[in-house]
């Protein structure tokens, strides 16, 4: 279980990193925390020609208050840093709620928020959190920078709206309105495993206005439950649970699509109970 041969570069600044990633003659892959990419390379499921290690790019690290409230989180910010951050606990409580469920401490010391978002594993928590928080993902390439709304970012299994040569550099989380509430619930067979089903929910006030419901590990990508949101907006949690058939449930080794459908209802009910 050794990776195929690859070249390795550790650029000292973002411009150099983007230049390396832009080279059309090389199949370059950015290396963030490596918690998914390195195992995939060892299985030879990923065989990049060039690994661009982002570890020296301090400009991609850190958690800062956003310009209009909210937060800007550098893509190379590690889970462990998010866990320790008061800013995250205050302004992005969904992330704080989800972190203890993400793998194990050793992995959280290396894994990064940008790496998880860019990988777009449908079973991972972070992409669904982006949907629930209506976050924007900042992507840069040697051509410039753009912001992509989470709703447009995740396009399929391990698939995103990133263009070749584009790198996720930051996550922008808008300021939550007064009275915004959040809840998170997942069912994993062992603590730290990918969930059998999980959900992140946001809504405002006791009447749960403007709800956003985002599931993970139930389909080929993180999915919002639009009809369930509408039912909840109309004030009927039972209807919300019943409205999940809009989701294209996809089974895995632990649960077939029917079981995913059932468990999605359970996690939603339990999350709403915590909202």
Partner 1 sequence: MSGPLTIFDRPRDYIGQPVPRADTKRLLQGRGTFIDDIQLPRMLHAAFVRSSVAHGVITGIDVAEARALPGVVAVYTGADIAPHVEPYVGVLSHLAGLRSAPQMPLAVGVTRWIGEPLAMIVAQSRAVAEDAAALVTVEIDPLEAVTDMETALDPATPVIHAEMDSNLAWERTVDVGDVDAAFARDDVTVVERRFRFGRHTGVTLETRGAVAAYDPSEDELTFWYSGQAPHMMQFIFAKHLGLPEENVRVVSQDVGGSFGIKIHTYGDEVATALAAKLLGRPVKFVADRMESFLSDIHARDHVVDGRIAVDAEGRVAALAFDDITGIGPFSMYPRTSAIEANQVLNLTGAPYVIGNYRAHAKVVFQNKNMMCQYRAVGHPIAMAVADCLLEDAAHEIGMDVVEIRRRNLIPDDAYPTQSASGMKLDDLSHHKSLETLVETMDYDARRAEHAKLREDGIYRGLGLISMVEVTNPSPMFYGIGGAPIASQDGATIRLDAGGGVHVSSSVTEQGQGTNAILAQIAADVFGVPIARVKVTTGDTRTTPYGGGTWASRGAGIGGEACLQAAQALKEQVLEVAAVILQSAPGKLDIRAGAVVDAEGGAERMTLSDLARTVYYRGNELPADLKPELVATRHYRVTDFPFVFTNCAMAAEVEVDPETGFVQVLNFWAVEDCGRVINPVLVDEQVRGGVVQGIGGALYEECIYDAEGQLQNATMADYLVPMAFEMPDIVVKHVETPTKTSVLGAKGAGEAGTGGAPGAVMNAVNDALRPLGAEIHQMPMTPERILRALGKV
Site residues, partner 1 (CB under 8 A) = 1-5, 43-44, 187, 189-194, 196, 253-256, 258-259, 261-263, 266
Smallest distance from the beta carbon of 102 to partner 1, in angstroms? 14
Smallest distance from the beta carbon of 268 to partner 1, in angstroms? 12
Three-class DSSP category at 106: helix
Q: Name 99's Cβ contacts closer than 8 Å, sequence gap at least 6.
A: 79, 82, 83, 108
Of 118, 151, 148, which Cα lies nearest the Cα of 36? 118
**CB-nearer residue toward partner 1: 144 or 190:** 190
**CB-nearer residue toward partner 1: 150 or 264:** 264
**CB-nearer residue toward partner 1: 210 or 220:** 220
Smallest distance from the beta carbon of 105 to partner 1, in angstroms? 12
Smallest distance from the beta carbon of 5 to partner 1, in angstroms? 7
Smallest distance from the beta carbon of 118 to partner 1, in angstroms? 19
**CB-nearer residue toward partner 1: 148 or 263:** 263
Of 88, 85, 190, 68, which Cα lies nearest the Cα of 129? 88
Q: In what order do the strands lie in the sheet with 223-224?
A: 180-187, 197-204, 209-216, 223-224
Question: What torsion, rounded to 10 degrees, do the Cα atoms 69, 70, 75, 78 define?
Answer: 120
Smallest distance from the beta carbon of 16 to partner 1, in angstroms? 28
**CB-nearer residue toward partner 1: 23 or 193:** 193
Question: What torsion, rounded to 10 degrees, do the Cα atoms 225, 227, 229, 233 define?
Answer: 180
Q: For residue 27, is it left (φ>0), alpha (ψ between -120 and 50) or beta?
A: beta
Task: Name residue 159's beta-bridge partners.
Answer: 156
**CB-nearer residue toward partner 1: 20 or 126:** 126
């Amino acid at each position: 279980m050794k990776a195929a041969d690859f070249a390795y570069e550790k650029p000292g600044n973002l411009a150099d990193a983007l230049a390396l990633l832009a080279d059309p003659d090389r199949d370059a892959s950015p290396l963030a925390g490596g918690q998914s990419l390195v195992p995939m390379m060892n299985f030879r499921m990923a065989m990049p020609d060039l690994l661009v290690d982002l570890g020296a790019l301090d400009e991609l690290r850190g958690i800062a208050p956003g310009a209009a409230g909210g937060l800007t989180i550098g893509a190379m910010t590690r889970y462990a840093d998010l866990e320790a951050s008061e800013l995250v606990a205050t302004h992005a409580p969904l992330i704080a709620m989800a972190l203890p469920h993400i793998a194990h401490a050793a992995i959280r010391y290396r894994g990064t928020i940008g790496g998880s978002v860019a990988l777009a594993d449908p079973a991972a928590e972070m992409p669904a959190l982006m949907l629930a928080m209506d976050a924007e993902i900042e992507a840069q390439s040697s051509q410039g920078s753009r912001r992509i709304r989470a709703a447009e970012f995740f396009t399929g299994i391990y698939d995103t709206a990133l263009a070749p040569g584009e790198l996720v550099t930051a996550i922008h989380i808008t300021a939550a309105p007064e009275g915004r509430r959040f809840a998170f619930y997942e069912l994993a067979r062992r603590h730290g495993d990918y969930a059998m089903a999980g959900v992140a929910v946001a809504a405002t006030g006791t009447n749960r206005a403007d709800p956003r419901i985002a599931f993970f590990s139930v389909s080929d990508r993180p999915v919002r439950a639009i009809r369930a949101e509408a039912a909840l907006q109309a004030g009927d949690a039972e209807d919300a649970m019943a409205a999940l058939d809009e989701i294209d449930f996809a089974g895995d080794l632990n649960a077939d699509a029917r079981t995913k459908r059932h468990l999605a209802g359970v996690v939603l009910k339990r999350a709403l109970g915590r909202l």
